[in-house]
């Protein structure tokens, strides 16, 4: 057996990239989350060839001070937490400090940023983990990240990429999730030079309507309930909703899109009486609770969470939804038999 050795940093980042950057859409998700964490008001996304050729995310957020630019690309380097207490009550979407390093290990990444404290911006490049020297750059306050040729140095990964149309669809889905989570922000999405989405700041329901369709809004009941430190709001479609092609099941916990078996189960149970068993419920629901009551550090992509009091969350979601679906306006709809 070969002797035990410590893996080189680049290889460690490439291994991490296998989890964090499964496909172009996962890189896009990480960049969008960084823009949100930076307090941006407007985020512009440009993609080429399903994101494999190019992912560019430009924001007007805080920017990164010039002297910290290289740190943004270092592994386990983050401005979002400093200790275990911070982790326990983290409110930002990111905190692991590994996304940019992971992306930079498997692509050609350019980071251009300007912090309010700097008289001009700075640019730095990272290609297959190798950092360039930083150079002055002309940019307004904010950050622009360009990711080109994803997996150019990892052919085994590249082989797993699907068609351009499929990768674009995943990117669009990642964009939609983030845009749903922050109706107060402006977003644009371009693919191969064509404008696909242009979203102005709006009320939550208007944003949902724009992204999921007016039909979804018309066929939904509005929800907004609070109890014992929990709040559930959003829209749940009635059984009459004839679904589009999209799988309209959006659940956000403290602004983060998650797939949670526990909540999905509570939702299914709440729909059971009103929904034909062969149909799937459609909803865009936002659960808010004390960050300390939920552990988001379960998975590298942070798409799973763990609740401190899972039973209370289950009971609350079931109860609120069940009541909403039984309202007169909901009950008036003929239930499919």
Paired tokens of 129: 């983990």
Contact 280, 249 (CB under 8 A): yes
* CA triple 43-44-46, angle to 5 deg: 145
Residue placing its CB nearer to Mg ion in the complex, 77 or 206 = 77
Contacts of 337 (CB under 8 A, 6+ apart): 276
Among 13, 14, 26, 34, binds Mg ion (CB under 5 A): 34
CB of 215 vs Mg ion, minimal distance in Å: 35
Which of 186/231 has CB closer to ligand ADP? 186
Per CB under 5 A, the segment of 38-46, 97-105, 271-279, 322-330 that binds Mg ion is 97-105
105 lies in the binding site for ligand ADP (CB under 6 A): no
Contacts to ligand ADP from residues 132-161, by CB under 6 A: 143
Q: Count of residues binding Mg ion (CB under 5 A)?
A: 3
* Residue 64 binds which of ligand ADP, Mg ion, none (CB < 5-8 A, kind-dependent): ligand ADP
Judged by CB under 6 A, the chain residues 60 through 79 that form the site for ligand ADP are 61-64, 72, 78-79
Looking at the Cβ atoms of 301 and 322, the one nearer to ligand ADP is 301
- Element holding 307 (H helix, E strand): strand 306-307
Q: Which does 107 bind (CB under 5 to 8 A by kind): Mg ion, ligand ADP, none?
A: none
Residue 200: CB minimum distance to ligand ADP, A: 21
Looking at 89-97, 207-215, 226-234, 236-244, which segment touches ligand ADP (CB under 6 A)? 89-97
Q: How far is CA 66 from CA 93, 97, 120, 135, 141, in A?
A: 23, 18, 9, 9, 12
- Whether residue 186 contacts residue 202, with contact meaning beta carbons closer than 8 Å, is answered with no
Out of ligand ADP, Mg ion, none, what residue 62 binds, judged by CB under 5 to 8 A for its kind, is ligand ADP
Q: Residue 320's closest CA among 282, 279, 263, 239? A: 263
Closest CB to Mg ion among residues 100, 321: 100
Nearer to ligand ADP, 13 or 52 (CB): 13
Do the bridges between strand 108-114 and strand 142-148 make them parallel or antiparallel, or are there none, so unpaired? antiparallel
- The residue within the footprint of ligand ADP, chosen from 66, 94, 121, 281 (CB under 6 A), is 94
Angle between helices 310-325 and 261-271 (to 10 degrees): 30
Collapsed DSSP state (helix, strand, coil) of residue 249: strand
**How far, in whole angstroms, is CA 304 from its chain's centroid?**
12
Read off φ and ψ for residue 35, nearest 5 degrees.
-65, -40
Residues binding ligand ADP (CB under 6 A): 30, 34-35, 38, 59, 61-64, 72, 78-80, 94-101, 143
Residues binding Mg ion (CB under 5 A): 34, 94, 99
């Amino acid at each position: 057996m070969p002797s035990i050795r410590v893996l080189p940093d680049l290889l460690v980042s490439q291994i991490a990239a296998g989890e964090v950057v499964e496909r172009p859409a996962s890189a896009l998700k990480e960049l969008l989350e960084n823009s949100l964490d930076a307090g941006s008001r407007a985020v512009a996304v440009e993609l080429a060839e399903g994101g494999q050729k190019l992912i560019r995310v430009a924001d007007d957020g805080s920017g990164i001070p010039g002297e910290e630019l290289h740190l943004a690309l270092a592994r386990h380097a983050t401005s979002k937490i400093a200790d275990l207490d911070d982790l326990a009550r983290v409110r930002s979407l990111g905190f692991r400090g590994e996304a940019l390093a992971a992306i930079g290990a498997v692509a050609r990444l350019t980071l251009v940023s300007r912090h309010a404290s700097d008289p001009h911006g700075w640019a730095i490049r990272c290609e297959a983990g190798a950092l360039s020297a930083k150079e002055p750059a002309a940019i307004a306050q904010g950050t622009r990240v360009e990711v080109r040729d994803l997996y150019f140095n990892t052919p085994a990964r590249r082989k797993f990429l699907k068609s351009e149309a499929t990768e674009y669809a995943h990117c669009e889905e990642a964009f939609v999730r983030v845009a749903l989570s922050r109706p107060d922000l402006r977003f644009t999405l371009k693919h191969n030079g064509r404008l696909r989405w242009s979203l102005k700041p709006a009320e939550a329901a208007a944003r949902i309507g724009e992204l999921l369709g007016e039909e979804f809004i018309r066929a939904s009941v509005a929800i907004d309930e609070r109890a014992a430190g929990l709040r559930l709001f959003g829209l749940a479609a009635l059984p009459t909703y004839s679904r589009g092609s999209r799988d309209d099941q959006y659940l956000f916990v403290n602004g983060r899109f998650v797939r949670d078996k526990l909540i999905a189960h509570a939702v299914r149970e709440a729909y059971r009486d009103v929904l034909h068993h062969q149909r799937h419920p459609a909803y865009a629901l936002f659960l808010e609770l004390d960050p300390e009551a939920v552990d988001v550090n379960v998975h590298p992509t942070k798409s799973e969470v763990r609740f401190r009091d899972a039973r209370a969350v289950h009971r609350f979601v079931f109860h609120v939804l069940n009541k909403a679906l039984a309202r007169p306006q909901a009950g008036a709809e003929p239930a499919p038999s």
